[in-house]
Each structure stands twice: as C-alpha cells, then as structure tokens.
C-alpha cells in the first residue's frame, strides 16, 4: 500500500498574520520562506493547507 504525498512550500511570511495561521504553518513543519515539506495527503493536512493557502504553494 502506497500512501500519496503532497509537497508544501512556504512562499509568504507569517509576520502580522493571525496566531492560528502562524501555528498552522508551524504544525506543517515550515519555518522559513522557501522551506518545503513532503507530507502524507490526509484530510487533516488538507485542512491545514486550506487554512494557509494564501501563504503556501502546493504540489501534488
């Protein structure tokens, strides 16, 4: 069984953003602009991505 993954890259700063968005970016494992993480594609991860979709770039 192969689980699909999604590649998430932080493209915009979290400075001045609401605390829930800052914490969501941190929960995705992103720290600096340009950081990329490959995460398992689950509904929870998709929900986090939707919360900060204006700050990240997503590749399937």
Mean pLDDT of 32-53: 97
Q: Give me the chain's average pLDDT, please.
A: 95
Domains in the chain, number: 1
Q: What is the side-by-side order of every strand in the sheet holding 36-40?
A: 36-40, 5-10, 56-59
pLDDT value at position 2?
Answer: 61
Mean pLDDT of 21-27: 98
Residues 17 and 2: their CA atoms lie apart, in Å, by 36
CATH code, 48 = 3.30.1390.20
Indicate the pLDDT class of residue 13, thresholds 50, 70 and 90. very high
Q: Quote the distance between the C-alpha of residue 33 and its chain's center.
A: 11
Mean pLDDT of 13-35: 97
Query: Residue 50's domain spans which residues?
Result: 5-59
Half-sphere exposure at residue 54, Cβ-oriented, CA atoms within 13 angstroms: 6
Mean pLDDT of 6-28: 98
């Amino acid at each position: 069984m192969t689980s699909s993954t999604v590649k998430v890259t932080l493209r915009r700063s979290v400075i001045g953003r609401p605390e829930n968005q800052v914490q969501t970016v941190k929960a995705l494992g992103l720290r600096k602009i340009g950081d990329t993480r490959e995460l398992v594609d689950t509904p929870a991860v998709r929900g986090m991505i939707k919360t900060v979709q204006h700050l990240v770039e997503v590749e399937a």
